Structures are given as C-alpha cells and as structure tokens.
Amino acid sequence: MNYKLKVTIPVVVCGGAVLAYYLIRRKAAAMVDAGTLEKLEAGFSKLQASDSKSLLKKYLTKEVFESLKNKKTSFGSTLLDCIQSGVENLDSGVGIYAPDAESYSVFAELFDPIIEDYHTGFKSTDKHPPKNWGDVESLGNLDPAGEFVVSTRVRCGRSMEGYPFNPCLTEAQYKEMEEKVSTTLSGLEGELKGTFYPLTGMSKETQQQLIDDHFLFKEGDRFLQAANACRFWPSGRGIYHNENKTFLVWCNEEDHLRLISMQMGGDLKQVYKRLVTAVNDIEKRVPFSHHDRLGFLTFCPTNLGTTVRASVHIKLPKLAADKAKLEEVASKYHLQVRGTRGEHTEAEGGVYDISNKRRMGLTEYDAVKEMHDGIVELIKLEKSL
C-alpha cells in the first residue's frame, strides 16, 4: 500500500482549484499495482466460490468488482484494503471496512448497498439527520426492581479529523493521536475526571486491574487483524477511566475513540446523560470526522451515523430457552442479540448482550429510545411466559 500519497487541499471555490483537486484525485485513483490486482482477483474468486452469507459477497458483483478494482483513495487505499477481512473470514456478517474516510466515496458502489442493507433501508439518496441527543431526562430505569437487567451501557465512536483510519496510520500518527487524546481527557472534571493509561509500557499490576474490571481491550480479533487494524500494536493505544469506573475511553482500538458510559443495573437515564455530557465536552476540544450524508465516520460501516450502541446485559431465561425465538422477537424491535462478551461470543450463565441495531437515519436519542422500548417489551414478554 502506498502510505506516502497524502494530499491536503484547502477548499477554494474557484475553477482552477477545483480542476487541481480533480486532477490530484484522478492521480490518486490511478494505477493499482499488479500484485494488489492479483490478490484482488484471487480474493474475488474465493468469495464467489464460497457459501459466505456476508453482505460483502451479496453486493460485490462482477460488475461492481470490475468498476472498483483499479481505484485508489488519496491515502493509497484500494478495494483490497476494504474487502480483505471479509475474504479471509468467510463467516463475516458484513465483511468490509473503510481504511480511510474517503473510501466511503471512492468505493461507494460497494459501500452504499451494504449500508442500505445493514441499516434497514438507508438509501444512497438518504441523508443522516443532524446530531440530536434529545431530552436526556425523559429516559428512565429499564428494570427498577433489578430482576432482569444486570448492567447498562451506552457507547459511541468518533474519528479524529485529519487522520485516516487504522490501516493507513503511521506509528508517528498513532503516538501523536494518543498524546492529543491524553491531553484532552486530562481536562475532564467532576464525575468524568480520571486517569489515562497508555498500553505501551503498562505495568503488570495496572494491566491485571484493567483485565479484572473488563476494561482492557486486547489486540484485535481475526476480523480486525485481517483488516490491518492492529499495526504497530500497542503504540498509540490507551485506556482512560473515571474514578467510579462508569466512564471509559478507548483510544485507537477499532476506532480512533470509543466513548463508553456504563454501570450496574438498569438506570438508562443516568448512563446516557453521562455519555452526552462527556461527548459534548470532548467535542469542544477535538474536531471529529463528520460526513454530510453518512453522519459520524467510523472504520466499520455498521457504526456510521450516530455511532451509538445502547446495550444491556440481561437475563431472560424463558425467552432465551429458544434462541431463535429470542432473536426473532428482538429483531421486531430493531434489537441485536450478542453473547455476554459482545460480538462473536456465547451467552455466559444465560446473560445476553442486547442492543439497538440501527445507528443511521435516526437521531442519537431515537437510537437509544429504540433500545429502551424494545427491552421494556422483552421484559414484559418474559414475565408473561
């Protein structure tokens, strides 16, 4: 991959500048090397011959493949960078990542239909609504008696403006970003005040404590590894948490930033309010990548838009006796069911991780409200069985 080709152009509204921009983009979109093309052809053949159920296989038709295989972004990213994880892991659900923000435009012929499919009907002509956290006070406790909900968590992802995503970052950029994030977070006050722990040079004691708290993220799973999201590990990676351990920031895990608010029990209002306060505060200090049509930009297209994932760890023994039935009911409310430790894991002790599935085409508040309403219905159903 050509990492040197990075072009920053001020937006000037005049003919010459537009032409220059167009020519540079043309140059950036020029020749994909023979080795990459060979890998692309082999990857496409492997995908077509497989019985993969991924959205990548569904939408990477021969026609789309031929149209995109010679394209490059100005960061040097090719179609191979987008699809290699899905080609290597044929059991992927989605199978595609964006190596940089520009990929969503350059490879739109592939990204747009996948986005529309995953985000239930968000068409290429649709526009994600402006950010709106809504009335924070209007959300209550999902399970005041504490019978079903073990814990509640709301997170969002953010990408820092001016940097590509993981596969294109240099080691120097990783370190620079970590420094910016660490400095920014050290300015948080009140309930959000805490400590930043870089993964590089972390003591065994700190590491063990963070593992015990389930805070420490590991080097990416095979899906992220194959997408080249784990280069220069652990450079530039770090974890921040407040004193109460109810607010957490992951720096350069899958996205540049993951902001997480969580606590035991079902008090969604408190969890959501904490996240909103934190995001609003951090946003004043760090500019985030935002796309006029797609909302906030992330490495994986499933997180675009609001990037918000509101989830609970919940025990529903009667409903869960029939996993297929649980998933069917959950999908009716646009909810996604995962194992206890998240994606690609099993439920431990009958505890499921259930969250909103939709993140695009609706506001932040609506995404969280969708989870709220769905969980309330699932609890009602569990009680009636």
Q: How far is CA 379 from CA 114, 154, 271, 341, 385, in A?
A: 32, 19, 19, 21, 10
The letter for the amino acid at 53 is K
Is 293 marked as a binding-site residue?
no
300 included as an active-site residue: yes
Q: Which residue of the set 61, 88, 176, 338 is catalytic?
A: 338
Is 155 marked as a binding-site residue?
yes
Is 16 marked as a binding-site residue?
no
Is 340 marked as a binding-site residue?
yes
Query: Could you report how far apart the first and last alpha carbons of the chain are, in Å?
Result: 56
Q: Which residue of the set 25, 293, 309, 359 is catalytic?
A: 309
Q: Which residue of the set 41, 147, 283, 343 is catalytic?
A: 343
73 included as an active-site residue: no
Q: Which residue of the set 258, 293, 358, 359 is catalytic?
A: 258
- 322 burial (CB, 10 Å; 0-12 / 13-18 / 19+) is exposed
Is 38 marked as a binding-site residue?
no
309 included as an active-site residue: yes
In which element (H, E) is residue 318 found? helix 317-320
Is 18 marked as a binding-site residue?
no
338 included as an active-site residue: yes
The letter for the amino acid at 203 is S
Is 342 marked as a binding-site residue?
yes
Give the number of other Cβ atoms within 10 Å of residue 276's Cβ: 19
Is 341 marked as a binding-site residue?
yes
| Triad 94, 97, 103: Cα angle to 5° | 130
Q: Which residue of the set 116, 178, 253, 254 is catalytic?
A: 254
Q: Which residue of the set 300, 306, 307, 364 is catalytic?
A: 300
Is 279 marked as a binding-site residue?
no
Q: Which residue of the set 155, 237, 274, 359 is catalytic?
A: 155
Distance CA(178)–CA(189), nearest Å, equals: 19
Q: In angstroms, how far is CA 77 from the centroid of its own chain? A: 19
Q: Which residue of the set 73, 277, 302, 306 is catalytic?
A: 302
Is 309 marked as a binding-site residue?
yes
Is 103 marked as a binding-site residue?
no
Which residues participate in the annotated binding site?
A: 151-155, 214, 258, 309-313, 338-343
Residues with active-site annotation: 155, 254, 258, 300, 302, 309, 338, 343
Which residues participate in the annotated binding site for ATP?
A: 151-155, 214, 258, 309-313, 338-343
